[in-house]
Structure 1
Amino acid sequence: MTRASGIGSLPGEDAHEAARVVLGELPDLPHLPELPARGALADLTGRAVAVVSDLGFDLQPAGWRLTDAAGVDHRRARSLLAQDLDAFEEESQGFTGTLKVQVAGPWTLAATVEKPRGDKVLSDHGARRDLAQALAEGVRTHLADVARRVPGAELVLQVDEPALPAVLAARVPTASGFGRHRSVTPPVASEALEWVLDAADDRLTVVHCCDAEVPVGLLRSAGAGAVSVDVATLAVTAYDELATVLDEGGTALLGVLPATGSAAPSVKAAVERTMRLLDMLGLDPAEVSDRLVLTPACGLAGATPAYARAVLAALRGAAEALT
């Protein structure tokens, strides 16, 4: 059965309303909503910082920075996460089924969080190792908390790595802006990602990357059971690796509808884009439909509430049509 889901973020600031939207529009695979409109405490990095164990952070004008102890903004980020979980727990009473939980990956964090004296964690081998391991431990605790709050849920962990291709290609700028951080080799990148994916224990894991050069093979070698890509931007060079994922029994989350727009998204467009991609991959839709999840191209934080609802409804209709 083809399913529909979201990437993570939604517009607005009301956690209760966001929970109602995903539970209502995505009954087969809802996700824990993220609401970055509330600011740095709730964006991709801020939410991950709230999950990380045993490390302190503080919010500076340039963004999040490692510190000796949790600063006031770090404590607020954790409090906001707890409030969001309270809201989802309340709205999901009686829920049974699959629930997706998202967190920023170790390399996206290393490329966005600064060391205590400035510049990115990415520049320091020891700091980025400590951050990845603390993230893995925090993810383990976070999943246990969600499982306790929503006992009928079968959890799926999605690790968001939008910065990973830039890390691999030495495209992350230094603090001065005049240089670039050295590239990270695939084996090193895979190891840190594997630590975080292993924190899911035996649960299904997904790695999301909407960059055109998503390293599908690396993600699979790190242990990802599924990959999440933007169909519109995906480079042709990644097609063979994506086809291999499905051939080997893995799952593909396909971003088939734009995350923002003025025109109403349609079921027909989502179905056509999915079928076109499968044709280019040389795959029979009937054989892989149960391993497909249809999603927006990226998070919906920049969309209007009406568009966000319409996208999720169209994806659900397309998934039913493909099934």
Structure 2
Amino acid sequence: MQIASLNIVAVSDNPSDVELVAQLLQRAALNPEIRVVDSEKSLRSALQDQLPELIVSDFKLPQFSGLDALLVARDVCPDTPFILVSEVFGEDHVIHALKSGATDYVLKHDLARLAPAVRRALGDAQSALEQRRTLEALRHSELRFRLAASTGDVWDWDIETGLAQISPQWKMRLGYSEEDVENTAEGWLALLEPADRVRVLAAFSAHIRNHVPYDVEYRALAKDGSYRWSHAKGQAVWNAHGRATYMAGSVVDITERKNAEIKVQRLNRVYAVLSGINSLIVRTQNREELFQEACNIAVHAGGVGADAILTS
């Protein structure tokens, strides 16, 4: 993947190291544009001038450590990937750095790992950004849903005859004209996704027989072949013999909210896998054990089918 340019702040007092980093990233088509700082003051100044896409820091400087730089970065730009580079890392230092928010670490004698580590860090940062945007969209959608819920489209159902008044707006959102969908319970139920139809009927039965509140979410088939989500609430009327004769309620389209929830769930699974594997890399040295545990993480945290792993 070719990157037009990559804005990097390098925390270092060694020009040779910075030049080597620049060469390695250039060969990897990352096209770095590097600003070099060597103190807390110069780092804060650089970050205030322009937030970088990546921070690469030496672990040891004469009067300013990589961990000090990490604290500054997490204070000023907590979402920017931060990679530590050092001659040697003790296990305690690695664990402390990762817990403090470092994205990754690279040993100077193994700088071939730098470009892949940078690409992975940038990918993780982009995924995190997408997750935040999705969560924000979800919050906006929930607000719109709460506002719409008080004035949702109205439906009613004559339980004894099966005749129903299905909201014209609900039909329209699915792409149907008023005449396309028969105003009966059967006509409405025929559009429901089969598994959701079972749940809806069970909810109707529980409400009518046991007065359990009717409050369900379901998918309905649109005219273009897609499914849209609805949230319905309802209340029955019982006669003197305790038999339900009529039911009415409201229905609100929640497709946007449900799609956002599904996306968040997928992103959370991705983050669970990445977090688990990053922790695994720190703990595990044996290649076979690393592979086995990584597979377990993919199955249990990522929802990947075991059969898919065995056949890959």
> TM-score, normalised to structure 2's length?
0.26
Higher relative contact order structure (alpha carbons within 8 Å, sequence separation ≥ 6): 1
Return the index of the structure with the highest Cα Rg: 2
> TM-score, normalised to structure 1's length?
0.25
